[in-house]
Amino acid sequence: MRVEIWSDIACPWCYVGKARFEKALAAFPHRDDVEVVHRSFELDPGRAKGDVESVLTMLTRKYGMSEAQAEAGEDNLGAQAAAEGLDYRTRGRDHGNTFDMHRLLHLAKEHGRQDELIQALYRANFAEERSVFAEGDERLVELATEAGLDAARVRAVLADPEAYADAVREDEREAAELGATGVPFFVLDRKYGVSGAQPAEVFAQALTQAWGERSPLRLLDQGDADACGPDGCAVPPRV
């Protein structure tokens, strides 16, 4: 079974939702048969690279909050994260463009290191003092190499703005087609969708239901035909 997760590194509920989903997956009896794929979704796609501002400033400007309301929201997120065993800095974080991070996540997918990279990016953005936005490409190189990617290859991707750009846009197009207007958005076998950072119990129920309703392969009986199997290939007799 495949679970696709549309998310953005700048999304705190994606950070929390990933932990809740993983708690449900860890207890799922068929967890070893579940493939998890991370898909791209930008919450702020129009933001220019290098346009960085504080999270509190962004919240007050974008949502019309007072500073006190923005701080209360961050405190609530900090408490929700802590309940999942996650570190979360409620003050001093910044916000910026995540397109390059998504491009690197597609590179990481090719090398089987996607989950390692997205976890490193989440940790850096939500728990560490150093910015993933203000320090430039070398910060991303550092995190990507920590996740197991080759530094030279990472720099080459960051230097080429077209590298994996189409893959990011394709993920975003698919999200729109599936009806995702926000993230996190979880899709199980392209049959069931779960929106938001739901409790682990909801993810557990979704995994069980999706697993139980997988359709077995139906063979069309067209008579016997030669085929190859574990014991070799049938060889027709000579005439």
Give the whole-angstrom CA distance, residue 216 versus residue 234: 27
Give the whole-angstrom CA distance, residue 145 versus residue 117: 9
Query: What is the pTM assigned to this prediction?
Result: 0.89
Task: Find the farthest-apart pair of alpha carbons in the chain and give their distance in angstroms, rounded.
Answer: 90
Give the whole-angstrom CA distance, residue 140 versus residue 132: 7
What is residue 19's DSSP assignment?
H
- Sequence-separated (6 or more) residues with CB below 8 Å from residue 19: 81, 84, 85, 86
Burial class (CB in 10 A: 0-12, 13-18, 19+), 5: buried
What is residue 215's DSSP assignment?
P
Give the whole-angstrom CA distance, residue 195 versus residue 188: 11
Side chain identity, residue 62: K
Give the whole-angstrom CA distance, residue 139 versus residue 125: 11
pLDDT tens string 54-85: 999 999 999 999 999 999 999 999 999 999 99
Handedness of CA 47, 129, 8, 87 (dihedral sign): negative
Q: Which two tokens stand for residue 5?
A: 């997760």
Q: Which two tokens stand for residue 112?
A: 């089987």
Q: Which residue has the tokens 């063979």?
A: 219
pLDDT averaged over 10-residue windows placed end to end, the chain, 239 residues: 98 98 98 98 95 97 95 98 98 97 98 98 97 95 98 98 98 96 96 96 97 72 57 57
Helices (H), 27-111: 55-63, 67-83, 99-110
The angle, 0 to 180 degrees and rounded to 10, between the axes of the packed helices 114-126 and 12-26 is: 130
Give the whole-angstrom CA distance, residue 193 versus residue 113: 25
